[in-house]
Amino acid sequence: MSAEAMVPFPGHPSWLDVRLIPLKEKSGEARLVLGIARDMTKHKQLEDELMEKMKQLKEFNDLAVGRELKMIELEKEIQRLKSSSK
């Protein structure tokens, strides 16, 4: 079993990746569980920063593409006005 969890340590909440592995006897019965926890707080922080940067990049891209589409429309309108004035 594997899970990620936010653990509210005093003063600094941390993200942990926890893995639990049943240790079985010869009979197949699980008597013990081996637990391994890895601090992945920094990884989560970097992931959050990356998501924010991706959001900003998408917003910029949407604005840039929108501006470019508007410029194309204006070019067409200029061409239409030039041809109608001849």
Q: What is the pLDDT of residues 6-64, one digit of tens each?
A: 888 888 889 999 999 999 999 999 889 999 999 999 999 999 999 999 999 999 999 99
> Does the pLDDT at position 86 exceed 90?
no
Distance CA 19, CA 38 (A): 9
For the record, the structure tokens of 46 come out as: 């970097």
The H or E element that residue 32 is part of is: strand 30-39
Q: Which long-range contacts (CB under 8 A, 24 or more apart) does 49-53 make?
A: none
The C-alpha angle 31, 34, 37, rounded to 5 degrees, equals: 155
What is this structure's pTM? 0.60
Residue with tokens 């079993």: 1
Query: Does residue 85 surpass a pLDDT of 80?
Result: no
Q: 2 pLDDT band (50/70/90 cuts)?
A: confident
Residue with tokens 């929108």: 66
